[in-house]
Amino acid sequence: MQKGVAKTLLEVRSISFGLNKEFYSNQGVRLPIFCDNRKILDHPKLRKTLGKWIGNLIKQYYPNVEKIVGTAVAGISFAVLASEFLGLPMTYVWDSLDWNKDNFNEVCKPNTKVVIVDDVIYSGNTIINIKKKLKECNCDVLGAVAIFSYDFEETKSRLAQEGIDYHTLTDFDTLTLISMQTGKITYLEYLKLQKFKDNPNSSEWLK
């Protein structure tokens, strides 16, 4: 599954390589890979298939889920697609905006078993912040899913410390390997990408 999803993202050009271009994360870190999953939405059949993939991932790991929660804005479309496939209700939460807890409880009752859907996991901050808001409303957060993860060790540790279980359709290692095997990047570029993953806050990979 992970290899197939990686190939699909490359085919629809959701993935751009920034080895010679300048892409930056929300934290101001220069990225050698930029993932724009909005491009999936341009393909009706593919986006329906993606909803099925995300839905099956949720069913596999969180069979007791009662409601899907999308991260605003990036995860909303994919949360809709997954919830439609699963036949479940769906809502969304902003991670960085003030909100009215009482109003949210009208659409997500206390003790509701929820799964968070995001498009890309980079630092994990979005999911962490949204989980905190959901816990304020006494929702039971089973875990989170996403299309792609950079899979940094620091991110894994941060999510684990917050008690957040998560799963993704594909990840950095799979995507970079497929990219090299299909000629999207060279072996030397692949090594640079691995150097970035090992220490994303360092500029060593640029040398």
13 secondary structure, DSSP code: T
pLDDT value, residue 101: 63
Tell me what the mean pLDDT of segment 26-41 comes to. 86
pLDDT value, residue 89: 96
Q: Which residues pair with 144 in a beta bridge?
A: 116, 166
**CA 21, CA 17: separation in Å to the nearest integer?**
7
pLDDT at 160 over 90: yes
Which ranges constitute the DSSP H helices of the chain?
2-11, 44-61, 76-86, 101-105, 125-136, 153-161, 172-181, 187-198
Evaluate whether the domain defined by 2-197 bears CATH number 3.40.50.2020: yes
| Other C-beta atoms lying within 10 Å of the C-beta of residue 156 | 14
pLDDT value, residue 180: 95
Tell me what the mean pLDDT of segment 95-116 comes to. 75
pLDDT value, residue 131: 93
Tell me the pLDDT band of 103, cut-offs 50, 70 and 90. low
Identify the CA nearest to 63 among candidates 47, 85, 86.
86
Identify the CA nearest to 97 among candidates 63, 115, 123, 73.
73
Q: Report CA torsion sign: 87, 132, 160, 120.
A: positive
Average pLDDT, the chain: 90
The dihedral region occupied by 148, where left means phi > 0, alpha psi between -120 and 50, and beta the remainder, is: beta
Distances (CA, A) of 114 to 64, 135, 160, 168: 9, 11, 18, 16
| pLDDT cut 90: percent of the chain above it | 70
